[in-house]
A and B are shown apart, each in its own frame.
Chain A
């Protein structure tokens, strides 16, 4: 096993463990901190998968912007009745369905033969950022512009929803 594989599995374990802590911890602030840890581990996974630009955007947008938003809202609202994770299994039926679905998915994964990518990726010619930028401004130009409109609409909608009702 190469060093990159070891780092990959360690980061993956960190991401999954902190994701479990997000939904298991009683305090919402703790959940937010574990969410940052999960996002940063995911950024490491993206780097190992040779998607450096996505990793940088992940750190900037998720670990930067979205987390600040979450922390602000947690501090604005008063969480007195925070309660921990409670799993109420309604009979054995839901457990059976869950195990069956997981088994089916894992069976499909083990049957499917996805050949591992061999050799250096052609995606790296000229650098990852340049390749993503070229694709964004040629192939995906229209979705790129639509995404900016979507962000504008989301911004206006958030302001309208969150402002004090003025009479």
Chain B
């Protein structure tokens, strides 16, 4: 491992925080999906780092599963975005508030 494990954790924390900032502040549905991908990547980096740290291959297997789940999530999420745009003609999540009580 070229760097101390704590540094990898801090990098992963930074990436996760950037993704969370994007989800919380951007109002465009596509950018929100991209930010979710950033957060999943940050979690993946932790898994791979601890796989190396603990000499345990399961972390990398988990990382592969995370990527598979992310692929499915992005496909469904973008289909929802397309359906939203077709029905409401907008991508701003502030404009979509049918379920808001």
Contacts and interface: CB of A to CB of B under 8 A. Distances in A.
Q: How large is the interface on B (under 10, 10 to 19, 20 to 34, 35 or more residues)?
A: 35 or more
A20 B60 contact: no
Contact of B78 (A31, A70, A106): A70
A88 B49 CA distance: 35
B78 A42 contact: no
Contacts of A161: 76, 79-80, 82-83
A21 to B, nearest CB: 10
Q: How large is the interface on A (under 10, 10 to 19, 20 to 34, 35 or more residues)?
A: 35 or more
Contacts of A110: 6
A69 B1 contact: no
B57 A49 contact: no
B31 A31 contact: yes
12 contacts: A8-B2, A19-B18, A28-B28, A54-B60, A66-B70, A79-B28, A116-B1, A123-B51, A128-B60, A135-B58, A140-B58, A161-B79
A57 B71 CA distance: 11
Interface in A85-140: 85-87, 102, 105-106, 109-110, 112, 114, 116-117, 121-123, 128, 131-132, 134-136, 139-140
Interface string A131-154: 110111001100100010011011
A76 B1 CA distance: 43
A150 B51 contact: no
A62 B67 contact: yes
For B22, B28, B71, B92, the residue with the greatest tally of chain A CB atoms inside 10 Å of its CB is B71
Contacts of A57: 64, 67
Contact of A147 (B3, B15, B69): B69
